[in-house]
Amino acid sequence: MKSDDMSSGIDRRALVSGLALLPALSGTLLSASAQAQTTSDVLASWNDGLAKQVIIDFVRATTEQGRPTYVPPEDRIATFDQDGTLWVEHPIYSQVVYCLDRVPAVVEQDPRLKDVEPFKTVLSGNREAIAKLSLHDLEKILFATLTGMSVEDFESEAKKWLTSAKHARWSRPYTELIYQPMVEVMQYLRSNGFKTYIVTGGGQDFVRVYSQQVYGIPPEQVVGTAGATKYGYQKDGKPFLTKEPKLLLNDNDAGKPEGIHLMIGRRPRVAFGNSTGDREMLEYTGAGNGARLMMLVLHDDAKREYAYGPAQGLPDTKVGAFTQELFDEAKKAGWIVVSMKNDWKRIFKFDQNT
């Protein structure tokens, strides 16, 4: 393993302790395969280093017949947080931008909202004021823009937005701002018989609109924050489902393992996240027997993407915080902390620096 590829910015002990997650692998085996595989074409957007190596070793350990760590195909479940783990979440979650963009249409349908907060502030276009909206205000906007329509109408609106809206920094659709190294991890796992799931705090229905096309993950493998729907009939007798303002699953924090149990019904073998909202998912994954792989993406690359923590002295944030407490837990539990700056050769598919 080339140690000069390793991060100097983040605590190397956290990375090294990650080896603890493969207790059944003998030291000999690990170093032998490390030498053999760091030059592999697999995970081409990853720099050689511990993070890449642990992923490759984990896949070998769980898929090669006869290994004590072998996992039968039906148990190969891998879960991935989305915002900040699979795609850009800064300066603000894409779905929140969608909801803010939808406010004018909602007000047009119900003009009384024009002078009612928080809709009034959103309509003003005053970015500073919008950024200061409370969580409660934000919830009002989410309910107003994500519920009260048929599931088909929602899908068609979201699709339209996704093809037209662009991230201000890159002037590209949000769906292009996915992390190429993570796409490769998902492909690599799938090609080794793992079923990949998104487990997101974002809206389940929202992510399902593009998950197949963008990540190769079908809608039924997206677990997210989910509301109730209500079955009813149109005037012509045709049945349809209406999105109701009733929360069934808040798929953040403890809601992630709860959502995994509800929607998947088995404990993952692999879990990737990037923030405190993923802590319980990684804990739950790690609490199972046998080989498990838990990883956290640390945004420490302001040049190519963003830098935020507040772990390791990185700037604090309200969007996708990675606290020092989480960093310490990762270190203790043997979860691998991935440095975007050091572990990823490129961030996006459109990056030229490969």
Q: Which residues lie near a copy of itself (CB under 8 A)?
A: 74, 77, 151, 195, 204-205, 208, 212, 218-220, 222, 226, 228-231, 238-241, 248-249, 254, 257-258, 261-266, 280, 283-284, 287
Pairing of strands 239-249, 293-298: unpaired
Alpha-carbon distances of 60 from 67, 199, 294, rounded to whole Å: 9, 24, 16
Rounded least distance, CB 240 to a copy of itself, Å? 8
Residue 115 burial (C-beta neighbours within 10 Å; 0-12, 13-18, 19+): exposed
Rounded least distance, CB 224 to a copy of itself, Å? 10
How far is residue 21's CA from residue 283's CA, in Å, rounded to a whole number? Answer: 12
Rounded least distance, CB 258 to a copy of itself, Å? 5
Tokens representing residue 39 in the block: 């030059």
Select 42 or 264, whichever has its Cβ closest to a copy of itself. Answer: 264
Residue 72 burial (C-beta neighbours within 10 Å; 0-12, 13-18, 19+): exposed
Alpha-carbon distances of 323 from 134, 201, 275, 313, 337, rounded to whole Å: 21, 18, 8, 10, 12
How far is residue 226's CA from residue 258's CA, in Å, rounded to a whole number? Answer: 12
Select 13 or 231, whichever has its Cβ closest to a copy of itself. Answer: 231
Select 205 or 300, whichever has its Cβ closest to a copy of itself. Answer: 205
Select 108 or 153, whichever has its Cβ closest to a copy of itself. Answer: 153
Rounded least distance, CB 280 to a copy of itself, Å? 6
Task: Give yes or no for a contact between 336 and 18, defined as CB atoms under 8 angstroms apart.
Answer: yes
Eight-state DSSP code of residue 13: H
Rounded least distance, CB 6 to a copy of itself, Å? 30
Task: Give yes or no for a contact between 300 and 341, defined as CB atoms under 8 angstroms apart.
Answer: yes
Rounded least distance, CB 180 to a copy of itself, Å? 23
Select 55 or 77, whichever has its Cβ closest to a copy of itself. Answer: 77
Rounded least distance, CB 269 to a copy of itself, Å? 13
How far is residue 214's CA from residue 236's CA, in Å, rounded to a whole number? Answer: 36
